[in-house]
Amino acid sequence: MPPTTSDVPDPHPHGPLAVLELTAWCALVLVTANAAVGFLLVLMSPVAGEGAAIHGITLAVVSVVAVLPVLVVGWPLGVLTVWLLRREPREGRHVLVFALVGAVAAVLLGGVGRTALPDAGLLALLAAEGALGAGAGRMLLGRARRARALRRAGAGLGVTAAVVA
């Protein structure tokens, strides 16, 4: 028997532990994306010059170091955002709002300790990083929660669940 709408798991995070899982997804997305770009820069260094390799290694290292601010700032912002979205049923809007919150938070974090406003290119890069991390992290969390709930529901159904899925 196919699952009904009441059987479909809720992909929305509820509570501080679910937001901590969301924050971990955000950090994973950021480290993975930045490490991949850094690796490509290192691979391109014979063509682009030694500076590309230095920038690539720096990007990979900085992305790992940036996990701490993502956790420290992202978790409370995530708890607040989840609370504000508690009555919004559409996951697409959740992803969009989290991307927006991530972009703003990244730009604000990028300005910490600076006496002058960063240039527009750096601000755009920070906003893109924040939007990618938070938006993709929220999207991946929803997918992971649905898959986990379906696996749990299918474990009791045996072969029938595998046929339905």
Mean pLDDT per 10-residue interval, the chain, length 165 residues:
50 81 91 89 83 85 86 92 92 95 92 79 90 94 88 67 47
Buried b (16+ CB within 10 A) or exposed e, 47-66: eeeeebbebbeebbeebeeb
The answer to pTM > 0.85 is no
Residue 126: CB atoms within 10 Å? 20
pLDDT value at residue 5: 47
Per-residue model confidence as pLDDT tens digits over 106-136:
999 888 877 777 788 889 988 999 999 999 9
pLDDT value at residue 10: 61
Q: Pick the closest to residue 33 from 113, 146, 131 (CA basis).
A: 131
pLDDT value at residue 131: 95
pLDDT value at residue 161: 47
pLDDT value at residue 52: 83
Q: Pick the closest to residue 125 from 51, 43, 55 (CA basis).
A: 55
pLDDT value at residue 16: 86
